[in-house]
Amino acid sequence: MALVQLLYTSKISGKIGMADLTQIKDAAANHNPPLGISGMLCFGEGYFLQVLEGDAVIVNKHYQRISADPRHTDLVLLDYSHITKRNFHN
């Protein structure tokens, strides 16, 4: 298994309310661990910043899904690195 860390930022498309943010957070908390994805998600000033860690194939597919999510625009891949151990364990 090739372990990678992916860091991206994206801009919110339109207005996102607290309920939307809670839904995104809960979806990540429920779907990422069973896929072996760990990381963090930050939101502020109309932008998301997220780190994804896990198997390269799974992380790449997950990032493609995020790229297709209409709530995200202007995605910028800030870093993509092969790593030997995780920095985030959740």
Q: How many domains does the chain have?
A: 1
Residue 39, SS3 per DSSP: strand
Lowest mean pLDDT among 9-13, 25-29, 60-64: 25-29
Instruction: Look at residue 20 in the predicted model and tell me its pLDDT.
Output: 84
| Mean pLDDT confidence for 45-57 | 95
Instruction: Look at residue 14 in the predicted model and tell me its pLDDT.
Output: 80
Is residue 19 one of the residues assigned to a domain?
A: yes
DSSP assigned state of 50: E
pLDDT surpasses 80 at 12: yes
Is residue 90 one of the residues assigned to a domain?
A: no
Return d(Cα 43, Cα 20) in angstroms, integer.
Answer: 12
Instruction: Look at residue 80 in the predicted model and tell me its pLDDT.
Output: 99
Range of the domain at 38: 3-82
Domain CATH for 77: 3.30.70.100
Is residue 87 one of the residues assigned to a domain?
A: no
Task: For 14-24, write each residue's pLDDT tens digit.
Answer: 877 788 888 88
